[in-house]
Homo-oligomer: A and B are copies of this chain.
Amino acid sequence: MILFNCDYSEGAHENILRRLAETNMEQTPGYEDDPYCNEARALISKLCQRDDADIHFLIGGTQTNFTIISAALRPHQCVLCADTAHINVHESGAIEACGHKVSALPTPDGKLTAQQIDEAWHAHWDDDTHEHMAQPKMVYISHPTELGTVYSRRELEDLSAICHKRNLYLYMDGARLGYGLQSEENDLDLPTIASLCDAFYIGGTKNGALFGEALVLLNDDFKEDFRYILKQKGGRLAKGRLLGIQFIELLKDGLYFELAAHADRLAVMLRDACLKLGLTTPFYTGTNQQFITIPDSILEALKNQYGFSWLRREDSEHTTVRFCTSWATREEDIRQLINDLTQLCQDSPQS
């Protein structure tokens, strides 16, 4: 059984394990107040070209999302997002549990447009009864999205511009940020993201770390007392240096980007093979999540040997499923999957 279900099936890159072992018996202050976290902060600031960034290390994505949203919004304010957004569908109501409405907008591909944001803003403020509605104050985007798609520089600039114009915060969930930045269609980089967003995070869990997300606060509004809220939400790791050390290893020499590039390359290899076999994808992307529409008969045969995840039925005979590669995926495993898919497609009368 080879798992392509997700991008967190394995542990961490060996450099991280080695460095954790080397520093294991050092005594450091707790709660991210140690020299390793500070070194990681300096690295991230430099990569983002933002000396004024306030950087916090959290353990996972859901925690990161509800912590920043809780810190940023007043009780009556809501967050706009795509209907497929992680905060809307896969966090067990975590944002609402912090008191805030998640206002989901429909999208075909997981990406919000500047126009949608503007329309949502107008729908609120043009209504006489807006004081009886939750007030939009933050826009949440994921990059790449939950469907593997990415924002272009132009699209992100447009989103940022409308957010500024409408006095909305722009927050980017970067759980898979590396995979986006290394994808073939990418024209973004960290300094650009840092200049266009009010906050974003660099996801470690899904790209080489044991766990950990580096939250980068750019807007001063978020900085005051953030650590109180971090503590309140369970986000201050006692042995905080575990997070610092991991991000140092990932970022000091570009390992983070190498790992992502590896995963993207294998994902594209799979995608192209599928397309060549006549299979289709609803979301063409060069990132590590490949959504492929496959005849059910083939999936039936495939599922005994490979793990993948289910997205939706397309019709009575086809289903779209997701294959994830990661920093840890072996090229031989992808080749074997391609071979088996090829064989199954050839055996199948019509796909």
- In this assembly, does A42 line the interface, its C-beta being within 8 Å of a C-beta of chain B? no
Copies of this chain, tallied across the complex: 4
Interface of A (DSSP majority class): loop
- In this assembly, does A10 line the interface, its C-beta being within 8 Å of a C-beta of chain B? yes
Which of A14, A23, A25 is packed against the most chain B CB atoms within 10 Å?
A25
Which B residue sits closest to A62, measured CB to CB?
Answer: B234
B30 and A9: CB pair below 8 A?
A: yes
Q: Provide the residues of chain B in CB contact with A237, threshold 8 Å.
A: 59-60, 211
Contact among B3, B30, B59 for A27, CB-based, below 8 A: B3
State how many angstroms separate the Cβ of A20 from the closest Cβ of chain B: 7
Contact A75/B134 with A24-B12, A100-B96 known, Cβ cut-off 8 Å:
no
Q: Provide the residues of chain B in CB contact with A163, threshold 8 Å.
A: none
State how many angstroms separate the Cβ of A70 from the closest Cβ of chain B: 5
Size category of the binding interface on chain A: 35 or more
CA distance A255 to B98 in the complex (A): 39
- In this assembly, does A310 line the interface, its C-beta being within 8 Å of a C-beta of chain B? yes
A 298-333 contacts with B by CB, 8 A: 307, 309-310, 328
State how many angstroms separate the Cβ of A183 from the closest Cβ of chain B: 22
- In this assembly, does A191 line the interface, its C-beta being within 8 Å of a C-beta of chain B? no
- In this assembly, does A26 line the interface, its C-beta being within 8 Å of a C-beta of chain B? yes
Which B residue sits closest to A175, measured CB to CB?
Answer: B238
A-B contact pairs, 16 of them (CB 8 A): A3-B27, A8-B30, A11-B26, A11-B239, A75-B93, A76-B229, A92-B133, A92-B228, A93-B99, A93-B100, A94-B231, A97-B98, A131-B228, A205-B238, A206-B238, A210-B239
